[in-house]
Amino acid sequence: MQSKHQKVQIGIVGGTGYTGVELLRTLANHPFAEVTMITSRSEDGVAVAQMYPNLRGIYDLQFSVPDIEKLKTCDVVFFATPHGVAMSMAPELIAHGVKVIDLAADFRIEDLAVWQEWYGIKPASEALMAEAVYGLPEYYREKIRDAKVIANPGCYPTSILLGVLPLLKAGLVNANSLIVDGKSGVSGAGKGANVAMLGAEMSESFKAYGINGHRHLPEMKEKLSQLIGQQVGLTFVPHLLPMVRGMESTIYATLKTDKSQAELQTLYETAYENEPFVDVMPAGSTPETRMVKGSNMCRMAIYCPPGGNMVVVTSVIDNLVKGAAGQAIQNMNIMFDLPENAGLNQVALLP
């Protein structure tokens, strides 16, 4: 879809959190996009540059209370809000021809009973869900092009789905016994005050959490099952790392037939050879979170440890970029027939 404007006119609802400012940072370098409004009920009237000094001289915007009539003047509205907000405003926006990209979880799980079980509030209507497309470009690109509503994937699901799907789609591993060990920086918990995220609580420490159930688990199981046409058994244990941003997922799967390291390397290189934001690293590489910090890239490597039938994939992303704002902008680019890498060519910060 071509925008009716020279530049895509963008509204951001809920702009004071980490994903909101990451949207602003990334869109500042987008040649075909213009942010026209950004909302916050609690910070109405506050200048964006006052809250985020890194954006001084970049944006002459103030936060304002969400106004559905003003949002209707946009081409696309990003929701960087708590669960439940996007689904309440999306119907009126899409009826007016505005595209919606939700960075929360309102549209990520198609089984609405499962969604309500995990999120504890009334889910989106079936009619609204029928308009939603899961926004993982590498596997849903054609559906994204014509979508009215995008469910931007969770950060863990992004790193894990990209890491394991080549194996599953090729039928090379047992889909019933996947194990994933995920690690994330504290920005993944959001900006809200939380004692567990205080520096004195989480620095110089490392812990697992959500072992008995994490909201990203049903999202991953549903999408994996849909994409390979069979049920998937997945054990997922996330961990909190004492760093601000970055995510590493180590995936363990059991090979059904013998495959060499070279064969698996070729499988992954072929699967992602035309993907601008997936980098399959050479055999023997060890992806590090700092290799993707601040960028929209997912970097991964595949291993066959000797003496067994296990295959191991390690996948790294920046949870705020490819895991949130960057992927949302990648989806916008596809929806508006823009170059997919527009505004997303930032090189990772290293060191």
The answer to the question of residue 243 being in a domain is: yes
112 and 181 together in one domain: no
Given a contact cutoff of 8 angstroms between Cβ atoms, the answer to whether 7 and 332 are in contact is no
Give whole-number Cα distances, 239 to 9, 54, 186, 205, 206, in Å.
38, 30, 10, 11, 7
Nearest to 163 by CA among 272, 2, 258, 40: 272
pTM as predicted: 0.94
99 and 237 together in one domain: no
Nearest to 228 by CA among 182, 268, 174: 174
As for how many domains the chain has, the answer is 2
Q: Specify the pLDDT at position 193.
A: 59
190 and 308 together in one domain: yes
Question: From first to last of its 351 residues, what are the pLDDT tens digits of the chain?
Answer: 444 448 999 999 998 888 999 999 999 999 999 999 999 988 999 999 999 999 999 999 999 999 999 999 999 999 999 999 999 999 999 999 999 999 999 999 999 999 999 999 999 999 999 999 999 999 999 999 999 999 999 999 999 999 999 999 999 999 999 999 999 998 766 656 576 667 777 778 888 988 888 899 999 999 999 999 999 999 999 999 988 899 999 999 999 999 999 999 999 999 999 999 999 999 999 999 999 999 999 999 999 998 889 999 999 999 999 999 999 999 999 999 999 999 999 999 988
175 and 303 together in one domain: yes
264 and 313 together in one domain: yes
99 and 207 together in one domain: no
Sequence-separated (6 or more) residues with CB below 8 Å from residue 5: 34, 75
Please list the active-site residues: 155
3-state secondary structure 109-177: CCCHHHHHHHHCCCCCCHHHHCCEEECCHHHHHHHHHCCCEEECCCHHHHHHHHHHHHHHHCCCECCCC
The answer to the question of residue 242 being in a domain is: yes
Give me the amino acid identity at 351: P
96 and 119 together in one domain: yes
* Cross-strand bridge partners of residue 77: 11, 100
Residue with tokens 């609405």: 112
The answer to the question of residue 342 being in a domain is: no
Q: Which domain holds residue 86?
A: 8-153+322-335
111 and 204 together in one domain: no
Q: Specify the pLDDT at position 189.
A: 64
Q: Residue 45 is part of a domain; what is its CATH number?
A: 3.40.50.720
Q: Residue 246 is part of a domain; what is its CATH number?
A: 3.30.360.10
The answer to the question of residue 345 being in a domain is: no
Q: Which residues of 187-207 are buried (b: 16+ CB within 10 A; e: fewer)?
A: bbeeeeeeeebeeeebeeeee
